[in-house]
Amino acid sequence: MIPRFPAFKPIELTDRDAVEAFLAAHPPLASEYTFTNLFAWRETYRYQLAAFGDGFLILKTDHAGRPALLQPLVAAEKRAAVLAALEYLRGLGAAPVIERAGEDFLAGEDWASWPVTVTEDRDNADYVYSVPELIALKGEKYHDKKNLLHQFEKRYPGAHYVPLAPELIGRSLLFQHEWCEERECAHNDGLQQEMCAVFQMLTHFESLSAVGGAIELDGRLIALTLGERLNAETFVIHIEKAKPGVAGLYQAINREFLAHAVLDYPYVNREQDLGIPGLRKAKLSYNPVRMVMKYRIGEG
pLDDT tens for residues 208-221?
999 999 999 999 99
Residue 289 lies in a domain: no
As for how many domains the chain has, the answer is 2
pLDDT of amino acid 25:
98
Residue 86 · residue 299 · CB < 8 Å? yes
C-alpha 55/C-alpha 78 separation (Å) is 10
The answer, yes or no, to whether residue 144 has pLDDT greater than 90, is yes
State pLDDT tens for residues 103-128.
999 999 899 899 999 999 999 999 99
- 55 pLDDT above the threshold of 90: yes
User: 18 lies in a domain?
Assistant: yes
Mean pLDDT of the chain: 96
Report the distance separating Cα 299 and Cα 159, nearest Å.
54
Indicate the residue among 124, 151, 186 that finishes a domain.
124
Is 287 part of any domain?
no
> Do 86 and 138 fall within a single domain?
no
CATH number reported for the structural domain that contains residue 219 in this entry:
3.40.630.30
Bond from prior residue into 6 cis (ω within 30 degrees of 0): yes
Q: Say what the pLDDT of residue 112 is.
A: 87
What DSSP line would sit under 284-295, residue for residue? HTT--SEEE-EE
223 in a structural domain? yes
**According to the 3-state scheme, what is the secondary structure of 39-61?**
HHCHHHHCCEEEEECCEEEEEEE
* 146 and 263 assigned to the same domain: yes
Residues 6+ apart with CB under 8 A from 203: 169, 173
For the chain, the farthest-separated pair of C-alpha atoms sits apart, in whole angstroms, at: 62
DSSP structure string for 159-186? -EEEE--GGGHHHHHHHHHHHHHHHTGG
* 42/39 Cα distance (integer angstroms): 5
299 vs 200, more confident: 200
Residues 235 and 131 in one domain: yes
CA distance 270 to 34: 14
pLDDT of amino acid 4:
98
Which of 51, 123, 107 minimizes the C-alpha distance to 273? 123
Domain of 171? 126-271
> For 149-207, what is each residue's pLDDT tens digit?
999 999 999 999 999 999 999 999 999 999 999 999 989 999 999 999 999 999 999 99
In this structure, is residue 1 part of a structural domain? no
Q: Whole-prediction pTM value?
A: 0.96
Q: What's the rounded mean pLDDT across residues 67-89?
A: 96
Are the C-beta atoms of 298 and 96 separated by less than 8 Å?
yes
Say if residue 159 is in the same domain as residue 265: yes
